[in-house]
Each structure stands twice: as C-alpha cells, then as structure tokens.
Homo-oligomer: A and B are copies of this chain.
Amino acid sequence: MRLAVLGAGAVGRSVLDLADDYGHSVTAFADSGSAAVDPGGLVPDPVLRRKERDDVVGDDDPEAVFDADYDVLVEATPTTLGDAEPGFTHVRRALEADRHVVLANKGPVAERYDDLRALERESAGEVRFEATVGGAIPVLSAIHDFGPDHITAARGVLNGTANFVLSRMAAEGLDYEHVLREAQDLGVAEADPTFDVEGTDAALKCVILANVLNGGGFSLDDAEVEGITTVPTSALDLAAEDGRTVRLIGEARPDGVRVGPRLVPQHGTLAVSGTQNIVQLETTHAGRLNISGRGAGGPETATAVLSDVSRLE
C-alpha cells in the first residue's frame, strides 16, 4: 500500500521508518508546516535527518499530501479534543476521495466517532485505529476477532506515564511531585503532563473502547474522570500493608466510561509496572482475557498502524 503520513512526531516518523518492513511505501509525509512527496516512495533517512536538522520534512506545502498518490492516509497528528480538528478534516478529505484512513490520533475516534462512521459509510475507503488504544497491544483486533457482542466490559491500565508515577511512588515511598519530576527528567512524562496525570488520555482510550463495544455514541463528555494528582503516598503505603496497590484504571461498559485511581491486588494481573499497559476483556462465555505490552512509543505504535494497513489489503 502507498501511505500518506500526516504528523511527524514519534509515531509518524516510525511509520515512515518501518513501512518498508511491512511491504508498504510512504509516498507523502508532512508535519504541520512542510511536506515531502515522492510517488516512487520516500527514502526515510534523508527525510528524518532533515526533520531533525531543519524542522521541516521537505520542500512541499502540507497541502500537497492530499494531491499525492496514496491508498491510505495515516493520521498521526496530535490528539485534540472537542471538534478534534484539524485531524477530523484530514480524515474527511481522505474518505471523500475514497481513500482508506488509519488513525493514531485519538481525537476523531473518541470525540467524533459517529461522524467518522457516517463519513466511512459514504466512502469506498475504510477507517481503522488500532494504534489509538494501548500502543502495540492489539486490543481492538482482539475485540473484533472475539465479537463485540461477546464482550461485556473492557478495563485496564491505559496510560504509561500515570502508571510509572504510581509504580514509583509505591516502590520508593516518594511523593507525587517528586516522582513526576523524575519521570519528566527520564522523558517518561511530558513537560506538561496534564493529559496523562489527570486521566484524560486514559479516558479517551476508554471512550474509543466504549464506542467499539457499543457501536458508537460516546465522547469524552460521557466519561467520569479522576486523575492521580491527589493520590497521597500514605494511601499507597496503607494499600501495601493490605497486599494491594493503586493503579489508574479505566473502564468501558455499555452504560458508560469511568477512569480513576483504584485499589488492585499488588501482584495481580492489573498491577502492571512501569510504562506497561494492560487491557482486560470480560467475555460472555470465556472468562477474562488479558492483553498487555508496551502502551506507547514510536515503533510500538507504528506497528499497530502498519498492521492496520496490512489488514486493509
């Protein structure tokens, strides 16, 4: 497949880098201010070097991407809330041109799922978004394979930053502010960690899970969200005395989405450590199914994008 990749962050760059490994080529690549287009397929290294050196990816205008020869638009621009723009417009333009769309950007799938599916119905193109939930973890494929009708709930740890902070607080007895600064120094937390520590990122992923399980109808407004910013170290100490610990757990059920700090068994399935993610599916006839792995990272998330692309063939 020929890919047009929008977004030159960690995920977009890794898609450019790994596409060839999956038998695909990138014919257009854009960041917010520039684009590189080559109908024969871009060579990754020069583009990535130029991005690093000059903060541009090529000589074209980003608009050139939509006129390029491509089969699949990969939407990997930053997640935005509310109208999910400009991501949503990118997706709309590709679908209106009867192209497939693969999203790593959570915005359009969490905030405008029903609009997205309506556009898809009018298009010869398909929409896929495995990369939006749990990075490398193939949770949406698992739900699809299992049949959403046979899954009653999905819950799990879906934000690596919050999980790292809680794991470290519990292991070292350090307070939230201290561990957050440490995580920022290590590059695990962003300079502005609001999205992660206040639960918004986990909530968006749970909203996407709720949409997939229920056939749409959910946006961030429907989620009850509580972050980890007020979890005291003393609560973790108390939990540990009882063989438990605290994790930021998100849950998607037919009746809604909830995200918040929860007590879980210290060595139990949900107590993944560090930046790991886990999703637990409650099934009608087969008990609980657990899938865990790296929930973020450029190459990890790019594999989810490229697996989606491969499934379009």
Interface string of A112-138 (1 = CB under 8 A from B): 000000000000000000000001111
Is residue A42 within 8 Å, beta carbon to beta carbon, of the partner chain? no
Q: Which of A3-46 contact B (CB under 8 A)?
A: 14, 18, 21-22
Q: Which residues on the B side are within 8 Å of A289 (C-beta)?
A: 136-138, 291-293
- Considering only CB atoms and an 8 Å cut-off, how many residues of chain A contact the other chain? 37
Among A210-253, those with CB < 8 Å from B are none
Binary interface encoding of chain A residues 286-313 relative to chain B, with 1 for a CB under 8 A from any of its CBs, else 0: 1111111110010110111001001100
Say yes or no: B287 contacts A290, CB within 8 Å: no
* Bound Cα distance from A284 to B21, whole angstroms: 10
By secondary structure, the A interface counts as: mixed
Is A150 positioned at the interface, with any CB of B under 8 Å from its CB?
yes
Q: How many copies does the complex hold?
A: 2
By the criterion CB–CB under 8 Å, are B286 and A294 in contact?
yes
A307 touches B136 (CB 8 A): no
A294 pairs with B285, CB closer than 8 A: no
Given A147-B22, A286-B293, A303-B150, also A267-B269 (CB < 8 A): no
How many Å from the CB of A116 to the closest CB on chain B?
21
Q: Is A89 at the interface (CB under 8 A from chain B)?
A: no
Contacts of A293 in B (CB 8 A): 286-290
- For residue A64, CB closer than 8 A to chain B, the reply is no
| Contact A302 B285, CB 8 Å, known A138-B145, A146-B138 | yes
In the bound complex, CA of A270 to CA of B145 (Å)? 24
Residues of B close to A267: CB separation below 8 A: 267
Contact of A311 among B22, B145, B287 (CB under 8 A): B145
Is residue A283 contacting chain B, with contact meaning CB distance below 8 A? yes
Question: CB of A142 within 8 A of chain B?
Answer: yes
Query: Whole-angstrom distance from the CB of A299 to the nearest CB of chain B?
Result: 4
Could you jot down 29 A-B contacts, CB within 8 Å? A14-B285, A18-B285, A21-B284, A21-B285, A22-B150, A136-B283, A136-B287, A136-B289, A138-B145, A141-B142, A141-B145, A142-B142, A142-B291, A145-B311, A147-B307, A150-B303, A285-B300, A285-B302, A286-B294, A286-B297, A286-B299, A286-B300, A286-B304, A287-B300, A289-B291, A289-B293, A290-B290, A290-B292, A290-B293
What 5 A-B pairs come out closest when comparing CB atoms? A136-B286, A267-B267, A289-B293, A285-B299, A286-B300
Interface on A for B, CB 8 Å cutoff?
Answer: 14, 18, 21-22, 135-138, 141-142, 145-147, 150, 267, 269, 283-294, 297, 299-300, 302-304, 307, 310-311
